[in-house]
Amino acid sequence: MDALKELDVSVIAASVDDQDKAGEMAAELSYPVAYGVTQDQAETLGAYWEPNRGIIQPTEFLLDSNHKVITATYSAGPVGRMNAPDLVKVIQFNERKKQGE
């Protein structure tokens, strides 16, 4: 996460959990966690809503400074989620591309 901070990247998370449960999780993190994500909001994001458990599967976006989606992942489990080292590589690649390298 330090490498993302050095690149001036903000991380924000969202959960279907209520405020108390999401707050417990957020207490261990260095970034804010929104709570109470609904099925309608999940559908707006294009996330897979799992009706049996009433949750969304991981849906992640990397936005540029103009709020344009650079990359997105939609996972149905723990494999394939974004991680800080990979995000740093994507950001650095896009910066080099902008600079014409």
Dihedral, CA of residue 36, residue 47, residue 2 and residue 65, to nearest 10 = -100
pLDDT in tens, 52-81: 988 888 889 999 888 899 888 888 777 778
Number of domains the chain contains:
1
Query: What CATH number is attached to the domain comprising 65?
Result: 3.40.30.10
Q: Which tokens sit at 54?
A: 């009433």
Q: Which tokens sit at 39?
A: 């099925």
In 3-state terms, what secondary structure has residue 2?
Answer: helix
C-alpha span between 42 and 69 (Å, rounded): 17
Domain of 38 in residue numbering reads as 2-98
pLDDT in tens, 34-43: 999 999 999 9
